Amino acid sequence: MLMKTLESRRGGWGLYPTRWSWLVALGVVCAIGCGPAGELPGETEELGSTSHSLHLDNGLSLNGLSLNGLSTSSFSNWFQADPSQRDEVMRYVVACGVPSGESRSYTDPSTHVTYTWSGMLGLAAGWASGNAATTAELQVVSACMAAHANKFGIHVIVSLLGLDGAGNTIPSTSQELTDYGVQEACFFGNLFDGNTGTYGGNDGLSLTSSQSSPRVCGLAGSGNTAQCSPMQYVGSCSQYCTRDATNTFYTSCTYGGVTYRPITTRIKATDVYSCGDGVCQATERCGTGTTPNSCAADCGACPSMMGELPLPTLPLPRR
């Protein structure tokens, strides 16, 4: 079965709603994927042009994800403003939207460097074939991007479930649901319409005060609800979203009077950490308490606190 996984990078989708830089502002802190475990293949491919354009308010015109759209001057100007970060953005746009086995490429006319991005999930097959992107395609690609954001830049594989832009069920297996047994989150929104942004909600497990996870964007708990700003945490998915007939994933989420095509995620139990399990995780810090930000049992006391502790009584040296 096709591995449905995107690789993690620190920095996170800067999930700002008004321009392509929403993806860049926080950097790429994604570390997850979907489906059974796997890695995002390569990084390089090309967007295509049709007569149907997606206009963003910073002047970028993305004319479909087919073969020639990356040759437009607006895309070129946007990309050349920060090739390194834009390259990372496009890697996720194409991986989420374009089918596996296809690629999209762009050659920078100034440097003559060619960037290629690999398709993987094919959530926007119509858009990828050169048709005008539908609202559902833009929403599910946005949800895919949001689902691949985490605060810590730690590689985590997740199961990605839901409907694609055409309303087809994203393939999964019973083994996948078993391996990724923790119902984690729902993600929805629209990064392409210039004013919406993205939302994350909790789908069951809420972290306790002693627990932590790289996946705080959806798996929120005590004190975690603002950690993936500007992505907005909305609370329980069940309050806004409708499940499919098998009760496996959400088919739609309605928030602020707008209905979205969401992505539902599941994770492994081993990706939820507890202060006191004997391992100092990247999500935990030294201290004197029992919370992730002050976990003495796993990470010990902080060096700055050592001077505050009473010195041991030592015997005087003999002359």
Work out the angle between the directed axes of helices 83-97 and 73-81 (0-180°, nearest 10): 120
pLDDT tens figures, 41-98: 222 222 221 222 222 223 233 434 443 456 667 778 878 888 887 887 788 888 899 9
Which CA distances in Å does 275 have to 20, 22, 205, 279, 300?
38, 33, 17, 8, 11
pLDDT tens figures, 161-198: 999 999 999 999 899 999 999 999 999 998 887 778 88
The pTM of the full predicted model, rounded to 2 decimals, is 0.75
pLDDT score at 192:
80
DSSP lists the bridge partners of residue 260 as 253
Mean pLDDT for the chain? 73
Q: How many CB atoms lie within 10 A of CB 254?
A: 13
Are residues 187 and 218 in contact, defined by beta-carbon separation less than 8 angstroms? yes
